Amino acid sequence: MNRLLLLLTLLLLCQPASALPEAEIQRYLDEAIKAGGGEVVIPPGVHLIERGLRLKDAKKLRIIGLDAEECVLKAAAKTNSLFLLSGACEALRIEKLTFEGGQDAVSEMTEPGLMNQFAKVHVGRCFFQNQRRAGVLLPKAAVEALEIEDCTFRDIDGTGIVFGEGMTGCSITHNHLTRCKVGITLAGSQRCLVASNEISACGTGLLITAAAEVQTIEQGNVVALNAITGSLGNSIQLNSRSLKNSVIQNEISGSAGDGIHLLGDAHGVKGNKITGSGRKHIAIQEGKHEIVE
């Protein structure tokens, strides 16, 4: 860590535990980005966010709280996003923070005519709660090797995690999602891994769908080894125009709707353990699929 970033960390640690002004946190982030990376530590406290913290062209930057449950970024009543990513972000890590409220917690900021490009972004050991639309929402950016790992998403009016059409080779692993309208949505994403998550009491546990107004493409996403319980609708749903996704060795129980609800075409469904479905364990609505129970 260079001298500037060491100073930023020490300044943050010396602040009182009550709160930091949003402008001050933003200044630390801007200085770190300008310095080319390093570490910014968020101290314990409830830090009120009104405008949203901007991370533009953030590279080799780690943002970490001292304690995941005590370091809270709390949205004001009309806040849209707590963290807004834009430009070319690479090797960015966001860890050990609680995101409270807002329309979204972590999302991208789009500008007309410009495509955001993110690579090697890691979100880990965070809590997301009470967002109005999504915990993590990345619908349009070109993204490679983004990881969401060991986080908790709860009481979200919309979707816990949304990966959009530009997501390639990204992963969602070892997370807990509960009481969301939809746990996880892959909307046109390709070659992404959703594995070893616990999803409970969501409207739909996991949804794979095609991107809006985009021709069907081979998606190649893998959904494996997840535990999905108590879905209010279907536990896993693959929509029309989704193509060649794999649903493997998941444990699904207590769905009010179908355990696995299949539209689209050429999906592989193998070795899933499904119990207590309100309708069918596996419902085929369209397409031809490889199913091995």
* Least confident residue range of 7-21, 23-37, 71-85: 7-21
Look at residue 160 and tell me if it is in a domain. yes
Is 130 a member of any domain? Answer: no
Please say if the pLDDT value at position 15 is more than 80.
Answer: no
Question: Is position 170 within any domain?
Answer: yes
Looking at the structure, tell me whether residues 158 and 224 fall in a common domain: yes
Q: Is residue 189 part of a domain?
A: yes
Q: Is the pLDDT of residue 198 over 70?
A: yes
Residue 21 CB burial class (10 angstroms; 0-12, 13-18, ≥19) = exposed
How many CA atoms lie within 13 Å of 185's alpha carbon, on the beta-carbon side?
A: 25
Do residues 30 and 92 both lie within one domain?
yes
Is residue 25 scored above 50 in pLDDT? Answer: yes
Coil, strand or helix: which one is 262? strand
- Domains: count for the chain: 2
In which band, very low, low, confident or very high, does the pLDDT at 1 lie, cut at 50, 70 and 90?
Answer: very low
Q: What is the pLDDT of residue 99?
A: 98
Domain residues for the domain of 36 are 1-114
Q: Lowest-pLDDT range, 115-129, 143-157, 212-226, 279-293? A: 212-226
Provide the token pair at 277.
Answer: 């479905």
Question: Are 101 and 189 members of one domain?
Answer: no
In a domain, 248, yes or no: yes
Question: Is there a single domain that holds both residue 104 and residue 235?
Answer: no
pLDDT of residue 18: 61
Same domain, yes or no, for 81 and 156? no
Count the neighbouring beta carbons within 10 Å of the beta carbon of residue 231.
29
- Asked if 66 and 44 count as a contact pair (C-beta separation under 8 A), the reply is yes
Same domain, 290 and 171: yes
Query: Are 177 and 110 contained in the same domain?
Result: no
Rounded to two decimals, the pTM is: 0.92
- The answer to the question of residue 129 being in a domain is no
The last residue of one of the domains, among 61, 90, 114, is 114
Residues 94 and 227 in one domain: no
User: Please, are residues 214 and 238 in contact by the beta-carbon 8 Å criterion?
Assistant: no
Percentage of the chain beyond pLDDT 70 is 93
Q: Residue 24, SS3?
A: helix
Residues in the chain: 293
More reliable by pLDDT, 260 or 12: 260
- pLDDT tens for residues 202-211? 999 999 998 8
What is the residue-averaged pLDDT of the chain?
A: 92
Other beta carbons within 10 angstroms of residue 142's beta carbon come to: 16
Domain boundary, last residue among 60, 94, 114: 114
Helix, strand, or coil here: 103? coil
Residue 158 shares a structural domain with residue 229: yes
Quick: pLDDT tens for 232-267: 999 999 999 999 999 999 999 999 999 999 999 999
- Residue 288 maps to a domain: yes
Burial (Cβ within 10 Å: 0-12, 13-18, ≥19) of residue 57: middle
pLDDT at 12 over 70: no
- Each residue of 158-170: pLDDT tens digit? 999 999 988 999 9
Share above pLDDT 90 across residues of the chain, in percent, rounded to a whole number: 85
3-class DSSP state for residue 271? coil
Choose one of 67, 96, 114: the last residue of a domain: 114
Please check whether residues 191 and 255 belong to one and the same domain: yes
Most confident of 12-16, 123-127, 164-168, 240-244: 123-127
Task: Please choose, from the candidates 214, 218, 215, 167, the residue with its C-alpha nearest in 3D space to the C-alpha of residue 194.
Answer: 167
Residue 22 lies in a domain: yes
- The 8-class DSSP code of residue 265 comes to B
What are the beta bridge partners of residue 270?
248, 292
| Confidence band, pLDDT 50/70/90 cuts, at residue 113 | confident
Helix, strand, coil fractions of the chain, as percent rounded to 5? 10, 50, 45
Please say if the pLDDT value at position 35 is more than 90.
Answer: yes
Q: Which of 99-108, 139-148, 217-226 shows the lowest per-residue confidence on average (mean pLDDT)?
A: 139-148
pLDDT higher than threshold 90 for residue 275: yes
pLDDT at 293: 81
Model pLDDT for residues 39-82, shown as the tens digit of each residue = 999 999 999 999 999 999 999 999 999 999 999 999 999 999 99
Q: Are residues 89 and 209 in the same domain?
A: no
Q: Are residues 155 and 283 in the same domain?
A: yes
CA distances from 186 to 55, 98, 167, 170, 245 (A): 24, 24, 9, 11, 11
